[in-house]
Amino acid sequence: MRSAIAALALALMSGLAPGFAAAEEITGAGSTFVYPLLAKWSDDYNRQSGVKINYQSIGSGGGIAQIKAGTVTFGASDMPLTPADLHEAGLIQFPAVIGAVVPAVNLPGIAPGALRLTGPALADIYLGRVKTWNDPEIVSLNPGLTLPALAITVVHRSDGSGTTFNWVDYLAKVSPEWKARIGEGTSVSWPSGVGGKGNEGVAAYIQRIKGAIGYLEYAYILQNKMTYALVQNAAGQYPAPGKASFQAAAASAEWSKTSDFDLVLTNAPGDNAYPITATSFILIHRAAGATGAVKSALDFFRWAFAHGGDDAEALAYVPLPASLTAAIEAYWQANLP
């Protein structure tokens, strides 16, 4: 019996031993949007450097709360904090990866990418004002398509989410009524529709309900081979969702004019920019300086920006453009001496 306890204690200690060395383990928490990519990155990085990254995808709101409380080395959020908020909490912030939110529909006989919608039309659908697919507002945008007289069922997220934040931020930018009546946030008071839990819940509802429209992270559109709709961007074009249009949005955004990268990529101005492009942000404590676990975390993201591009693309994210990673490096030098 005693030897069994001793063996157990030994096993526990050897298992925990790397955890005691502070610099060897980085903890993070937050956004579920970046979780698949962070998991892949940390796996690869661990194999190369031996440094372990322990990331918990508890949601952006939870990530912000945890980094403010100082229980993790870095937090991840799909919604940028304002410079005032960052200053008050003693945090710095930088983008980590780019993705996009894409509307998907369940319309029998309509091919992926065939349906065209504008931002105001999407807002009217989500406000519950456009109720059927053969509404003149949708028909006039799609002269070549025969749209059925099917009722539109709006699908949204039931849980608070960074995906929702980017979606409603876009709707608020293109529809004054949405901005006034609904506003924006990680969860809002939806005027109509059903709520699915998580991207998979929304995807399941869209596939179940004929005439449904919902919004999903791009990866879920690819995995489930769903029928997506094109959205008109600020330049009047209908870019297909994909690496090129997401990167065009990231490149056309004027990061240099912001402080602390406080910028939401939706409704970006570029000709080929995808209109609902999203960014995940990393939050780190300023006071800690570039020492210990913070230094390890910066090394990890430095490695990810340099070598993690293939991982990102394999998972349907888009790596940051080189100009942006250079700006982030300069930001680190300035804020974490």
Partner 1 sequence: MSGMAISRAEIPVRRVGPWGDRLFRLLLAGAAILVLALLGGAALAIFWGALPAFRHFGPAFLTGSAWDPVRQEFGALVPIYGTLVTSAVAMATAVPISFGIALFLTEVAPAWLRAPIGAAIELLAGIPSIIYGMWGLFVFAPFMADHVEPALTALLGPLPVLGVLFDGPPLGIGMLTAGLILSIMVVPFISSVMRDVFLLVPLTLREAAVGLGATRWELVWRVVLPHTKSAVMGGIFLGLGRALGETMAVTFVLGNAHEFSPSLLMPSTSIAAAIANEFTEADSDLYRSSLIALGFLLFAITFVVLALAKLLLARLTAGETRR
Q: For the CB of residue 326, give the shortest distance to partner 1 in the complex, in Å.
A: 32
Nearer to partner 1, 104 or 312 (CB): 104
User: CA-CA distance, 287 to 62, in Å (whole number)?
Assistant: 21
Q: Which residues of 250-267 are buried (b: 16+ CB within 10 A; e: fewer)?
A: bbbbebeeeebbbbbbbb
Q: For the CB of residue 30, give the shortest distance to partner 1 in the complex, in Å.
A: 11
Q: For the CB of residue 60, give the shortest distance to partner 1 in the complex, in Å.
A: 7
Sites of contact with partner 1 (CB under 8 A): 58-62, 64-65, 151, 153, 158-161, 182-197, 201, 204-205, 208-209
DSSP string, 89-112: HTEEEEEEEEEEEEEEE--TT--T
User: CA-CA distance, 160 to 72, in Å (whole number)?
Assistant: 21
Q: For the CB of residue 178, give the shortest distance to partner 1 in the complex, in Å.
A: 11
**Is 215 exposed, middle or buried, given 0-12, 13-18 or 19+ CB atoms closer than 10 A?**
buried
Q: For the CB of residue 270, give the shortest distance to partner 1 in the complex, in Å.
A: 29
Nearer to partner 1, 5 or 149 (CB): 149
Give residue 106's identity as a one-letter amino acid code.
N
Question: Which of 280, 335, 315, 291 has the alpha carbon at shortest distance from 60?
Answer: 280
DSSP string, 251-276: HHS-GGGSSTT----TT--STT--TT
Nearer to partner 1, 47 or 225 (CB): 225
Contact partners, residue 114, CB within 8 Å, separation at least 6: 142, 145
- Is 184 in a helix, a strand, or coil? coil
Nearer to partner 1, 36 or 309 (CB): 36
Q: For the CB of residue 332, give the shortest distance to partner 1 in the complex, in Å.
A: 27
Q: For the CB of residue 187, give the shortest distance to partner 1 in the complex, in Å.
A: 5
Q: For the CB of residue 266, give the shortest distance to partner 1 in the complex, in Å.
A: 17
Nearer to partner 1, 41 or 205 (CB): 205
Are 45 and 51 in contact by the 8 Å Cβ rule? The answer is: yes
How far, CA to CA in Å, does 147 sit from each of 85, 108, 143, 152, 225? 47, 10, 10, 12, 21
User: CA-CA distance, 156 to 319, in Å (whole number)?
Assistant: 27
Nearer to partner 1, 89 or 235 (CB): 89
Residue 225 per-residue DSSP state: T
Nearer to partner 1, 278 or 298 (CB): 278
Nearer to partner 1, 223 or 237 (CB): 223
Q: For the CB of residue 169, give the shortest distance to partner 1 in the complex, in Å.
A: 12
Nearer to partner 1, 2 or 225 (CB): 225
User: CA-CA distance, 302 to 317, in Å (whole number)?
Assistant: 17
Rg (CA), the chain: 22
Are 271 and 240 in contact by the 8 Å Cβ rule? The answer is: no
